[in-house]
Amino acid sequence: MKELNLKIKYSRWELLLQRLFFSFLVVQVCTSMKIFSSQPEPNGLVNYIDFTFLGNPYINTILQVFLFIFAAFYIWGRFMPISVAYMFFYLVALGTLKNSQGAISHGTQIVALVLLGQFCAYCWCSFLKFQKQSIKTKDNLTHHNLAFDFTQQAIAAAYIVAGIMKLINPPFVWRMGLPIPAGWIRDLPFIAVGIIKTHSQQYYNTLSEETLERGNIIANWIISHPNLTRIVLSGGLFLELFAFLLLLNRKWSFIIGLSLIFMHWGIFEIMQLKFNNNIYVLLIYTVNVPFLILSVNKLWKNNW
């Protein structure tokens, strides 16, 4: 009998609430995404498959109906490999088409990566079952537990990669003849031009005057306080690089998750860049709102 080494066992209700919240997010992301009729700069699967058929409103409506059906199965916890596969491939099709317009955005990748992680976990469990290597189960929840485990690993991977890119992308800082990957921290005060850019872009989205003035104030403050900017903002880099700590246990998952949400809030306040999907995913799978809800409910039942 093969036993999967799962550190933390999550309860039935906790996993159910997670699936419920996450399926809402997937449906919201898929139904609100702008669908394009062309793919001028192919990216990912668009190199091999023409996804412009999604631009046909009739086909897309049918696909969305199936999305609702499979999301219901997903919440119920049945036919998991097929349900997750459908949600994953539909989101990938929409996201790839969107990213094939010559403008790559990173708003929905985290949701797709979580679905990829869950898809791999459920397929792995099905494969073991098929191989007659029955998995040691606790309340028949092992496959959901493994999916949660892979989900957290996918989230950590996304942040670690973002951190690594900040180390290897900018030119190295040379100290005593040694290359130090601290170019990002050295160049941080140049974020001021990026702030002016994002605030101006925000202005041209809606022509709301306040954003321009706000951007100027923040950018000028950064230019006049370069070292303080380096100290404050470099915390985000270390947080990304140490995101793997969220895999350690519930406490670390909560701390790292909450810190990453705080980082996204800071990015929005400074740069007007929204990463709502990242925040929702962090709330569901790292801060673990379902667990908090159940804990409060338990306390309430026991009269605090």
Choice between 24 and 36, CB closer to another protein: 36
Given 5, 61, 227, 303, the residue binding another protein (CB under 8 A): 5
Between 196 and 215, how does the x/- string for binding to another protein read (CB under 8 A)?
xxx-xxx-xxxx--------
Given 30, 75, 156, 261, the residue binding another protein (CB under 8 A): 156
Q: State in Å, rounded, how far the first CA of the chain is from the last one.
A: 42
If you write DSSP's letter for every residue of 18-80 in order, what string do you get?
Answer: HHHHHHHHHHHHHHHS---S--SB--GGGGTS--GGGGSHHHHHHHHHHHHHHHHHHHHT-SH
Given 15, 71, 80, 154, the residue binding another protein (CB under 8 A): 154
Identify the residue whose tokens are 């976990």: 121
Q: How far apart are CA 268 and CA 279, in angstroms?
A: 11
Instruction: Tell me if 33 sits within 8 A of 108, measured CB to CB.
Output: yes
3 state SS of 119? helix
Given 73, 242, 244, 254, the residue binding another protein (CB under 8 A): 244
Q: What would you report as the CA-atom Rg of the chain, rounded to the nearest whole angstrom? A: 22
Q: How many CB atoms lie within 10 A of CB 125?
A: 21
**Dihedral sign, Cα of residue 175, residue 181, residue 185, residue 188:** positive
Choice between 40 and 177, CB closer to another protein: 40
Does residue number 194 form part of the binding site for another protein (CB under 8 A)? yes
Between 102 and 141, how does the x/- string for binding to another protein read (CB under 8 A)?
xxxxx-xx--xx-xxx--x---------------------
3 state SS of 257? helix
Choice between 182 and 293, CB closer to another protein: 182
Q: How far apart are CA 154 and CA 201, in angstroms?
A: 31
Does residue number 166 form part of the binding site for another protein (CB under 8 A)? yes
Choice between 31 and 224, CB closer to another protein: 224
Site for another protein in 261-300 (CB under 8 A): none
Choice between 117 and 290, CB closer to another protein: 117
Does residue number 172 form part of the binding site for another protein (CB under 8 A)? no
Query: Judged by CB under 8 A, which stretch of 147-155, 256-264, 281-289, 290-298 contacts another protein?
Result: 147-155
Q: Which two tokens stand for residue 128?
A: 């073991």
Site for another protein in 18-57 (CB under 8 A): 34, 36-38, 40-41, 43-45
Q: How many residues bind another protein (CB under 8 A)?
A: 74
Between 59 and 98, how does the x/- string for binding to another protein read (CB under 8 A)?
--------------------------------xx--xx--
Residues in the chain: 304
Choice between 11 and 216, CB closer to another protein: 216
Q: Which two tokens stand for residue 220?
A: 């000028």
Quote the least distance from Cβ 53 to another protein, whole Å. 16
Instruction: Tell me if 107 sits within 8 A of 275, measured CB to CB.
Output: yes
